[in-house]
Amino acid sequence: MNKRTKLTIGIIAMAAAIVGINYTSGTLMAKTEGMKVFSYHADYKVYEDMEELESQSPIIVNAKFTGERETILGDSVTDFIPFSKSKVKIKKVMKGDLEEEDNVLVFEPAAIDSEKNEFVTVEGYNLMSEEGEYTLFLRDTPKENSYQIVGMYQGKYDHSINDNVKNRTFITDFEDAIYDDVANEEIIGDNLNHFQKLKDKVVQKYNWE
Amino acid sequence: MRKISSLVAILFVVSAFSIPASGSQGKTNANAFWPGGGFSNSKYSKLTYSTSNAVDRLGYSRYVDDAVNEFDSISDANIGFRKLSSGDGEMLSIVMDEKNSSEYARDAFGIMIPFKIDPKTTSYERASNYETWAYAKIWLNDYMMKQHKFTSDERNKTTIHEIGHAFAMEHQYDGVKSVMVSGQISYPDLQQLDISNLQWKY
């Protein structure tokens, strides 16, 4: 091996090492800087089947998220459990007093805390997206034009996601999840089987067209 | 023949230990707790806690007192409590979920959230259920319990359930006789499975 060949191999090896280090750093950096997911556990009513969910839901609608969302945070992280007020446009009313084309506020039990770069949710509920086509099971609140999602993750179903949720989400509560990895999922964590059991019935009954 | 019998016996024993906990069996011992979660074990011998004024105002002091007594009276477990005034450095705060309309935000009866200390700022930051905590807070939601027409026994169960989370106990399977099953359930006391799990850990 002559000097020139050795030099060329050396340069290539050094370049590969530098690229490798940068790539690794980039991956680590991306994970470090990604929005961390905190999914907390609650004591809540677990609905046996869709019929029980329907009976406990005064309002059932098909709706689109308009993109308008207010995040409610506390003065400090220990002060308050964050949530979101999201505006939806009603497309079809299956039960209850709302009208088609109404815009109403829905309280979502999850929020993005931008300052802390954290996504905080309860029982794996994920926020609605503008692309989603939702069937929502709602309950009135004392606040004007504001509604609560019945059973948190049990009361929101996206018809635009056809895959079985069990084939899509691999993050469990135990894993350190980054929000980018799960942003497009309907639900994060341990309640996938129960969610899918309910969703199979909901999409069958409440056609979104 | 004796060899075959021995083999069958060994297979039986092995298979018995291989059956995952499920359904009516419930999670036991380490499986009943969040791995790595909770305060350090020694802190549970004198868990300091406070209750907010709203806990008194809304009539939940009796449920908190009952729940604390349930844990405190477990034999063969190094568990104890000391009540402090709010803001006196307590490890566990119990408050009512009623700020900025938060009681309407979640169709849930209670939530426990743990915190750890940020080494850079030395202030609290959110912790996961799977790491060591410095502080924990329980929010009880009276509005939702009223919406669901809770009985006293069901309020007792929710309060015990949330304090159970502060002991790093995770949810039990539906159908299991345990306060750690989610839902509107009439268990005014810790159940035998809960007690044996707490005795195992503490």
Q: How far is B168 from chain A (nearest CA, A)?
A: 11
User: Counting one residue from A and one from B, how many pairs have CB atoms under 8 Å apart?
Assistant: 116
Q: Which chain B residues touch A if contact means CB-CB below 8 Å?
A: 35, 93, 97, 99-102, 104-113, 115, 123-126, 128-130, 135, 137, 139, 147-148, 157-158, 161-162, 165, 170-171, 174, 182-184
For residue A149, what are its two tokens? 């999602």
Closest to B25 measured CA to CA, from B186, B153, B164, B197: B197
% residues pLDDT > 70 (chain B): 88
Can you give the pLDDT at residue A166?
65
3-state helix, strand, coil in chain B (%, to 5): 40, 15, 45
Which of B104, B129, B182 faces A146 most closely, judged by CB atoms? B104
Query: How far, CA to CA in Å, does A66 sit from each of A69, A157, B1?
Result: 8, 16, 74
Mutate to test the interface with B, among A35, A43, A81, A171 (most CBs of B within 10 A): A43
User: Average of pLDDT values for B32-56?
Assistant: 97
Q: How far is A207 from chain B (nearest CA, A)?
A: 25
Tell me the pTM. Answer: 0.85
- Tens place of pLDDT per residue across chain A (209 aa): 566 666 566 655 555 444 443 333 333 333 446 899 999 999 999 999 999 999 999 999 999 999 999 999 989 999 999 999 999 999 999 999 999 999 999 999 999 999 999 999 999 999 999 999 999 999 999 999 999 999 999 999 999 998 776 666 556 666 677 898 888 889 988 888 899 999 999 999 998 87
Which of B104, B128, B182 faces A43 most closely, judged by CB atoms? B182
Which residues in chain A have their CB less than 8 angstroms from residue B105's CB?
A: 72, 81, 83, 107-109, 148
On whether the B35-201 domain is CATH 3.40.390.10, my answer is: yes
Phi-psi sector, A189: left (phi>0), alpha (psi -120 to 50), beta: left
For residue A165, what are its two tokens? 């949720």
Can you give the pLDDT at residue A169?
55
Contact B162 A139 (CB under 8 A): no
Q: Are A108 and A72 in contact (CB under 8 A)?
A: no
A158 beta partners: A134
Can you give the pLDDT at residue A12?
57
Distance CA(A134)–CA(A156), nearest Å, equals: 7
Distance CA(A125)–CA(A121), nearest Å, equals: 6
- pLDDT tens for B130-176 read 999 999 999 999 999 999 999 999 999 999 999 999 999 999 999 99
Which residues in chain A have their CB less than 8 angstroms from residue B147's CB?
A: 139
DSSP string, chain A: --HHHHHHHHHHHHHHHHHHHHHHHHHHHHHHHSPEEEEE-EE-PPPSSHHHHHHT-SEEEEEEEEEEEEEE--SSTTT---EEEEEEEEEEEEESS--TT-EEEEEESEEEETTTTEEEEETTB----TT--EEEEEEE-SSTTEEEETTGGGGEEETT--S-HHHH----TTS--BHHHHTT-SB-STTHHHHHHHHHHHHHHS---
For residue A136, what are its two tokens? 């929502």
Which of B106, B124, B183 faces A109 most closely, judged by CB atoms? B106
Q: How far is B75 from chain A (nearest CA, A)?
A: 26
Query: Both ends of chain B: CA-CA distance in Å?
Result: 46
Phi, psi of A32 (to 5 degrees): -65, -40
Which of B137, B148, B171 faces A45 most closely, judged by CB atoms? B148
Contact A72 B104 (CB under 8 A): no
Which residues in chain A have their CB less than 8 angstroms from residue B35's CB?
A: 174
Q: Are A195 and A46 in contact (CB under 8 A)?
A: no
Domain definitions of chain B by residue range:
35-201
User: Average of pLDDT values for B44-62?
Assistant: 98
